[in-house]
Amino acid sequence: MKVLLANPPCKYEINSKYEKYFIRAGSRWPHSGVKKKKDIPHYLPFPFYLAYSAALLRNSGFEVYVIDAIALDISESEFIQRIKNIKPEIILFEVTTPTIDYDLQLVEKIKVAGVPNIVIAGAHATTYAREILQNSKNIDFILKGEYEFSLLTLAKSLREGRFSGCPGIVMRKNGGVEDNGFAPLTEPLNNLPPPARDLFPSNDKSDPTIYWDGFCQKRPAIQMHASRGCPYKCSFCLWNQVMYRNGKYRTFTSDRVVEEMADVVQKYNAREIYFDDDDFTINKRFVLEICNKIMDRHLKVSWSCMGDAINLDEEIIKTMAQSGCIGIKFGVESGSEEMLKNLGKPINLKKVYDVAKMCAKYGIKSHATFSLGLPGETEKTIKETIKFANKLDVDTIQLSICTPFPGTKFFEEVKNQGLLKSKDWQKYDGKASEVVSYPELDLMMVEKIMKKSLLRWFVYKFFSFSWFFRQLRNVYRSIKGLGIKFFFKQINSIIIDEMRNV
């Protein structure tokens, strides 16, 4: 049986030179970008759920095909033609809130192309599974939450010609919709085989090094997971609340993680590995185990991660640096103690200061993210956040206006308070600020403040000698690790995205 795992295109022409595109599979933050036509997006997350699913299906004897249209930068018409050429019995792809209207129209074209079983998944499909099936006759099944094993169960049942409902799968039955709830979370994570990187972005174009996170400082860079979930309950966090249902934080074994690192170094000549976890640094013992096993194996590869300042201390940061860590991203979200309490993030701002300084001490590039526009936000708390960001000794920062994605506590809170300006899902773009209306806070004004603050932050840091000379080191390391042509191409792409995003 042929199974096609897809990441469909979703892009719109801006003018003869530029187009707007949407990032879906692989990202916990559905959002748009702007790029030159025929260019690959400057941020391209690896679609892990699709890749784990591909490995499971292939191990069970299915003929597995992959089309990552975002990474291939192909048009909708070419995508449909590839489907016709493959003639799969099953196709699965992830939908998102800002692309759902487009996705449902695409489903009709896929059905016309002759695919008998169309399956969708993702956070938006999980939240509105029943409504989507009721309103779209061309979708056959919806998988809720973590879907790898649910897809395997469904595919086996369809191959055998018999199917009865089971947890994790929403389907039509007797003229209605049968929702069997969620399947258990995957535990232990080692039950998942290594992701089938060799099938991405497509069977005939195997090149997992095409996937890219702009935080990386060396090429080739390969993205990995060491864990899933997060024990903290931030109100805006889409993946943790919807896909994992605020479930248990889980890790692969440290042996499995280091073995996979060695494997991608050997197979793809990886010079950097980026751990795109929900939070890589939750468990101190686990992080130290990985670091020590990297050193015990004399594995010579740089690595970076998405972490959190909450659990970092000097012992961890020093050991991470010794084992090859050259970068840490971490979420701060706000410089206001009041706001942090409101959103459910148990972080100590003094600790964040210390973590930033320790990263600088051990040569680890640091990036802090802040989320503005959450319930309870005021001009005062925004000023506190900006003041905190200016004093924080990190290498780079990101200021974003938070989007209330359906399924999150944030969405329910603003909906119940009558603060949603729109239910037009296309506006629920992670880079937009049009969907919430606070009586005492103008988010359009916040966006202007945010852009000015980023410029002021850079000017403020530029005259800090320690920060300036540290950036010379970071730039040198990046140019050496990426090549001067790729380095400046990425900078140009980011500028285009930030200046032209509409």
Q: Rounding to the nearest 10 degrees, give the CA dihedral for residues 113, 71, 196, 100.
A: -50
Give the SS3 label for residue 438.
strand
Q: Which residue has the tokens 């099953």?
A: 90
Section 116-131 average pLDDT: 97
pLDDT of residue 323: 98
Facing residues of 166 across strands?
Answer: none
Q: Quick one: 412 exposed, middle or buried, by C-beta within 10 A (0-12, 13-18, 19+)?
A: middle
Give how far Cα 220 sits from Cα of 27, 108, 482, Å. Answer: 20, 38, 8
**Nearest-angstrom CA–CA distance, 129 and 121:** 9
pLDDT of 430 > 90? The answer is no
Section 325-354 average pLDDT: 93
pLDDT of 275 > 90? The answer is yes
Contact (Cβ atoms closer than 8 angstroms) between residue 243 and residue 250: no
Alpha-helical (H) ranges within 417-464 are 443-462
pLDDT of 44 > 70? The answer is yes
pLDDT of 109 > 80? The answer is yes
Instruction: Give the model confidence (pLDDT) of 66-84 as tens digits.
Output: 999 999 999 999 999 999 9
Q: Which residue has the tokens 């990046």?
A: 478
**Nearest-angstrom CA–CA distance, 281 and 307:** 5
Side-chain-side CA neighbours of residue 448 (13 Å)? 5
Give the contacts of 175 (CB within 8 A, at least 6 positions apart).
none
**Nearest-angstrom CA–CA distance, 435 and 432:** 8
Section 410-422 average pLDDT: 93
Instruction: Give the model confidence (pLDDT) of 250-274 as tens digits.
Output: 999 999 999 999 999 999 999 999 9
Q: Quick one: 415 exposed, middle or buried, by C-beta within 10 A (0-12, 13-18, 19+)?
A: middle
**Nearest-angstrom CA–CA distance, 445 and 323:** 44
Contact (Cβ atoms closer than 8 angstroms) between residue 30 and residue 23: yes
pLDDT of residue 451: 82
pLDDT of residue 246: 85
pLDDT of residue 343: 86
Q: Which residue has the tokens 């605020």?
A: 246
pLDDT of 14 > 70? The answer is yes
pLDDT of 457 > 80? The answer is yes
Give how far Cα 17 sits from Cα of 13, 41, 70, 85, 500, Å. Answer: 8, 14, 18, 30, 12
Nearest to 360 by CA among 284, 490, 464, 212: 464
Give how far Cα 473 sits from Cα of 17, 88, 266, 325, 394, Å. Answer: 35, 50, 28, 15, 14
**Nearest-angstrom CA–CA distance, 431 and 402:** 8
Facing residues of 5 across strands?
Answer: 66, 92
Instruction: Give the model confidence (pLDDT) of 143-191 as tens digits.
Output: 999 999 999 999 999 999 887 778 999 999 888 999 999 999 999 999 9
Instruction: Give the model confidence (pLDDT) of 186-215 as tens digits.
Output: 999 999 999 999 999 999 999 999 999 999
Section 383-401 average pLDDT: 94
Task: Give the DSSP letter string of 248-307.
Answer: --EE--HHHHHHHHHHHHHHH--SEEEE--S-TTS-HHHHHHHHHHHHHTT---EEEEEE
pLDDT of 235 > 70? The answer is yes
pLDDT of residue 502: 45
Facing residues of 305 across strands?
Answer: 275, 328
Nearest to 158 by CA among 109, 91, 106, 107: 91
pLDDT of residue 500: 57
Q: What percent of the chain has pLDDT over 90?
A: 84
Tokens representing residue 43 in the block: 């941020």
pLDDT of 375 > 80? The answer is yes
| Local structure of residue 146 (DSSP, 8 states) | S
Q: What pTM, to 2 d.p., does this model score?
A: 0.96
Radius of gyration of the chain (CA): 22
CB neighbours (10 Å) of residue 195? 25
Instruction: Give the model confidence (pLDDT) of 320-338 as tens digits.
Output: 999 999 999 999 999 999 9
Section 96-114 average pLDDT: 97
